[in-house]
Chains A and B, each alone.
Chain A
Amino acid sequence: MEQFFQITNFSCGYPGKFLLKEVSFNVAKGDFVGIIGPNGSGKTTLFRGISGELPPLKGKMELKGLDTRKMNLKQRAQNIAIVTQNIEIGSMTVEEYVLMGRIPYHKQFQFFETKEDFAIAEKYMKLTGVDKLKGKYMNALSGGEQQLAGIARALTQEPDLLLLDEPTSHLDITHQVQTLNLIRRLSRELGLTVLMIIHDLNLAGEYCDSLIMMQEGHIRKKGLPVEVLNYADIEAVYETVVVVRTNPISNKPVVFLVSEEVIEKS
C-alpha cells in the first residue's frame, strides 16, 4: 500500500515542553482516519503540528514523499486543508466564504477570482449541498450548514489531506450522520485522505477506516476500529468503565457507557 502521509518520530510543542512525543504513523491515500483520545491527550496539538501552526521540534512529516517542512505556506495550503471546530461566522456570503479556499492558488497580487475559481467553488458547493445557500450570510446558517460550508471551503482548496477537528461536536444526530456520510463519500469518490479528530467513539468506529488513540501526547494504539476500540484500552485511556459490543448490522464496535450507580449496584 502506498504510504501517502507519513509521520515519523514527530514531536512538537514549545521548547522545553513537548506536547506531542515521538509520534509515528502512516496513512494510505483515500484513508479515513479517526483520532480519538481524552481531552488534553494531544489530538489538537497533532493537528497544529500537521498544519504547521506549531513547528516540529523533532522528527519529520512527509506528504506524497515530500518533506512538509520544505513546503512554503501556500504549498502547504494547496496540500492540506483544515476545518476547525468553530467555523468563523461573519457577514460574508457562503459563496464568498467558499471562494476563500482559492486564495492559496492566487498569484501574487491577484485581486480577482478567475472563472476556474468560481467553477471549482461551485462544484464543491454542489457536492456538499450548500449551493442552494450560496447567497446566504454565514451567520444566518445553522451549525450543520456552517459545517458543510466549512467543508466546501476546505475542498475548494483541492487538498490531498483534509483535517477535520470535531466536525460533528455541535450537531444533532441527523446532521452528524449527514456530515460523516458526506466525508466518507468524499474520501471514497475523490480519493481524499481524511484525518478527523472525533470524541464520539461510536461514530469513530462506524465511519473511520482506522483509528489512532492518543494518550498523554503519544499514540497508545492504532489500527482498525475493532482493534482499537476494546474495553481494556478505552478504560485505561478514558478512566471510564465501558462495555464494547458489535453493531449487528455494520459489524463495527459499539461502546456503551456504564454509570457509577450501576457499577456500584453490580
Chain B
Amino acid sequence: MNSKYLKWILFLAALLVLLVVSVLFSLSAGEIKVSLMQLPQILSDTGSIEYTVLSKIRVPRILMAIGVGGALSLSGVVLQGIYRNPLVEPYTLGISGGAALGVAIAIVFGLNTLSFFSLPAFGFLGALVTLIVVYLLSIKRGGLSINSMLLIGVMVSFVSSSAMMFLMSISTTENLHNIVFWVMGSLDESNNSLIAIAFYSSLAGLVISYFFAQTLNALRLGEVKARHLGINTGVAIKLLFFVASLLTGIAVSVAGVIGFVGLVIPHLIRLIIGNDYRILLAGSFLGGAIFLILSDTIARTIISPNELPIGVITGFVGGLVFIIVLSRSKSHFKLN
C-alpha cells in the first residue's frame, strides 16, 4: 500500500481512539461521577440515578457534540476548500449569522412552537437564504468572484446581526431570554428527534462531501485549473455550498452559536496530516466531534453545579491552541 494512504489510515485510527477516549471521559465526568469499570453494571440497572444521568443527559449531549462539532468543522473545511482561503468558516461567510437570524425570527414570531422541527428548518432556511443572497450578489459575468463573495459574506453577517439585535429589542422578556440563551450556545437538548437530526444530518454531510473530495483537491489549483482537469466546478461549488449551509443551518439551529470549531479544527488537522481533502474531510469531522465533546464536558463540570456556555470554552481553548500552534509552526502552513 502507498505510504501516504497508510499514514491516513493510522491517522484516522488515532482519531477514532481519541474519540472513544473522549466519549468515555465525558460519560464518567460530572457532578455525579460514573466509574467506567461499573459501566456494564449501571447500564443493566435502568432504575439507578447513574443510568438516568447517562441516558438522559450525557449520552444525548455526546451525540449532539458529535453531530454539531462534526458538522461545523466539516462545513468550515468545505468552505475553505471552495474559497481557497483559510480564514473562511460559516461565521465569516455570514451563513451562521443567517441561520441565527432565521432561528430568532422563528422564536420572536412564535413559530418555534409549531413543531420540534421548526427551529432547524428556520435555521437551515436562514443559512440558505443568506447563501443565495451572497451568491447572487457576487455573480460577476456569469462566474463567481470568490473575493467579492467573501466581502459580501462579511457584510451580510453584519446586516443579519443588526437584524437580530432589532428583533431582540422588540421581543418579549421570555423570547429575549430564549434568544440570548440560544445565542450563547449549548448542547443541552431535550428533544431526541432534534438530536437524531443533528447527528444523522452531519453524517450525511460527511458522506456527501466525500463525493466531492477530489473536486476540492482540484480546486486547490484554482477554479480555472480545476476545470482544465475536467471538473465541472460550477455545479460542484453550488452543491458544496448547499451542503455547507445545510450543515451549518442545522448545527446552529439545534445548538446555537458555537464559534471557532470550523476555523480551528480544520487548521489543526491540516497541520498534522496535510491538505488532501480525502483525509481532511473525515479528519476534520472527527476532530470537530472530539473537540466539542471535550469542550462540553469542561463546560458542564468546571463551575459545577452551574454550567458555562460551550461557546466560551470553544472560543477560549480553540483560540489559545490556534495562537500557540500558529506561532510555533513555520513550515508549509498554507491552505493550498
| A interface residues with partner B (beta carbon < 8 Å) | 14, 51-53, 72-78, 81-82, 84, 88-92, 96, 100-101, 103-104, 106, 109-113, 118, 137, 139-140, 157
A72 CA to B230 CA, complexed, in Å = 8
With both beta carbons as reference points, the residue of chain B lying nearest to A53 in the complex is identified as B224
A77 CA to B227 CA, complexed, in Å = 8
Q: Is the CB of A90 within 8 A of B218?
A: no
Q: Is the CB of A111 within 8 A of B220?
A: no
A88-B220, A91-B274, A109-B211 known; A139-B231 Cβ under 8 A: no
- Contact pick for B229, options A77, A91, A111, A112, CB 8 Å: A77
Q: Is the CB of B229 within 8 A of A100?
A: yes
- Cβ–Cβ < 8 Å partners of B224 in chain A: 53
A88-B225, A118-B2 known; A100-B230 Cβ under 8 A: no
- Cβ–Cβ < 8 Å partners of B275 in chain A: 90-92
Q: Is the CB of A91 within 8 A of B230?
A: no
- Interface residue B29 (Cβ < 8 Å from any Cβ of A): no
- Cβ–Cβ < 8 Å partners of A106 in chain B: 214
List, sorted by A's number, 13 A–B pairs whose CB atoms are closer than 8 Å. Answer: A76-B230, A88-B222, A90-B334, A90-B335, A91-B332, A100-B217, A100-B218, A103-B214, A103-B218, A104-B229, A111-B213, A112-B5, A137-B332
Q: Is the CB of A111 within 8 A of B210?
A: yes
Q: Is the CB of A51 within 8 A of B228?
A: yes
- Cβ–Cβ < 8 Å partners of B316 in chain A: none
A73 CA to B229 CA, complexed, in Å = 8
Q: Is the CB of B227 within 8 A of A91?
A: no
- Interface residue B232 (Cβ < 8 Å from any Cβ of A): yes
- Interface residue B333 (Cβ < 8 Å from any Cβ of A): yes
Per-position 1/0 for B182-226, Cβ under 8 A of A: 000000000000000000000000000011011001101110110
A139 CA to B331 CA, complexed, in Å = 11
A110 CA to B336 CA, complexed, in Å = 21
- Contact pick for B231, options A14, A53, A101, A103, CB 8 Å: A103
With both beta carbons as reference points, the residue of chain A lying nearest to B229 in the complex is identified as A103
A73-B232, A96-B276, A111-B213 known; A90-B336 Cβ under 8 A: yes
A88-B221, A111-B213 known; A73-B230 Cβ under 8 A: yes
Q: How far is the CB of A9 from chain B (nearest CB, A)?
A: 24
A78 CA to B278 CA, complexed, in Å = 23
- Cβ–Cβ < 8 Å partners of A76 in chain B: 230
A53-B227, A74-B230, A103-B230 known; A92-B220 Cβ under 8 A: yes
Q: Which of B2, B224, B225, B229 counts the most A-chain CB atoms under 10 A from its CB?
A: B229
With both beta carbons as reference points, the residue of chain B lying nearest to A113 in the complex is identified as B2
Q: How far is the CB of B83 from chain A (nearest CB, A)?
A: 14
Q: Is the CB of A88 within 8 A of B336?
A: yes
A73-B230, A84-B225, A101-B229 known; A111-B218 Cβ under 8 A: no
A101 CA to B2 CA, complexed, in Å = 18
- Cβ–Cβ < 8 Å partners of A88 in chain B: 220-222, 225, 336
Per-position 1/0 for B262-306, Cβ under 8 A of A: 000000000000111010000000000000000000000000000
- List 8 extra interface pairs beyond A73-B227, A88-B222, A91-B336, CB under 8 A: A77-B229, A88-B221, A89-B336, A90-B220, A92-B336, A100-B229, A111-B210, A137-B332
Q: How far is the CB of A88 from chain B (nearest CB, A)?
A: 5
Q: What 6 A-B pairs have minimum CB-CB distances, sorted nearest first?
A: A90-B336, A77-B230, A74-B230, A104-B230, A91-B332, A91-B334
Q: How far is the CB of B331 from chain A (nearest CB, A)?
A: 9
